[in-house]
Amino acid sequence: MNFLSRIPIGQFIPGDSFVHRLDPRSKLLFTLLFVVLIFFADEPRTYIFLICFTLLSLFASRISLSYLFRSLKPIIWLILLTVLVHIFMTKGGSLVWEWKWFSVYEEGLRQAILISVRLIVLIIMASLLTLTTSPLDLTDGIERLLQPLARFNFPAHDLAMMMSISLRFIPTLLEEMDKIMKAQMSRGAYFDSGGLVKRTQALVPLLIPLFVSAFRRAEELALAMEARGYRGAIGRTKLRELAWSRTDGVFLVLVILMVVLFFLIRQW
């Protein structure tokens, strides 16, 4: 498995776990509520609660924990940049370390740790949604949740289709970028040498062929959909209808209890 293909967002791993069998609508609602709770977390106790619930969700999905942690490598630079910005830019509390123009305060260290944990948990839960839900089920779930807005001429089907295609194309574009990088390296290009500025400049020649490939794939997909008679949601029927089971109802009750417990811990 190459470096770029380790990003789990947009990929789907078939399975028969408890999370795999849930209705996509219940998983979407749970992910939405969990993301909201992440932004309400503001102290170590609430973060510990969210981390424990994340580990419990991973256990229920039977997704390899090592695979998900390896998938964080492509975004480790974003996390490190966020940590450094908060360490050196956030002031407050007692002074921990100082050198010339640089100073580190206690509040900066606290914010750096909490924000990095927030990013990691957010990415893991977003990845868990796509890893346990097929693109077709995800599209149907989004469309069903947005269906009440169709009364106000909201394009629920079109939006769900665009989101599904976007998620589906993430691993495809990453694989295409990996092929372009290998082709450039076979011609003498270097992407892993020099400083940060030099490495960034070396990635610029990858953007043009990647954009050309993305537009070509988009055009081919549009022609294929048009050739198959795709006309949006008008007169469209579904081969498989989503069925809300008792398990989904129990799961949503547990999610509501999780939200209540979270705010009780936050106010305690």
Amino acid 81: pLDDT = 84
Neighbouring residues of 54: CB distance < 8 A, sequence distance ≥ 6: 121, 124, 125
What the block records as the tokens of 267 is: 């106010």
Amino acid 30: pLDDT = 92
Neighbouring residues of 214: CB distance < 8 A, sequence distance ≥ 6: 169, 173, 176
Amino acid 2: pLDDT = 47
| Packing angle, helices 246-267 and 24-40, rounded to 10 | 0
Q: Where does 151-245 have alpha helices with state H?
A: 156-186, 196-227
This prediction has a pTM of 0.73
Amino acid 148: pLDDT = 83
Q: Which residues on adjacent β-strands are paired with residue 98? A: 103
pLDDT along the chain (268 residues), means of 10: 51 84 91 90 87 89 78 74 82 76 80 86 86 83 82 80 78 80 77 65 77 87 85 69 84 90 86
| Packing angle, helices 135-146 and 156-186, rounded to 10 | 150
Classified as helix, coil or strand, 4 is: helix
Assess contact for 67 and 8: CB atoms under 8 A.
Answer: yes
Phi (first) and psi of residue 128, to 5 degrees: -65, -35
Assess contact for 64 and 17: CB atoms under 8 A.
Answer: no
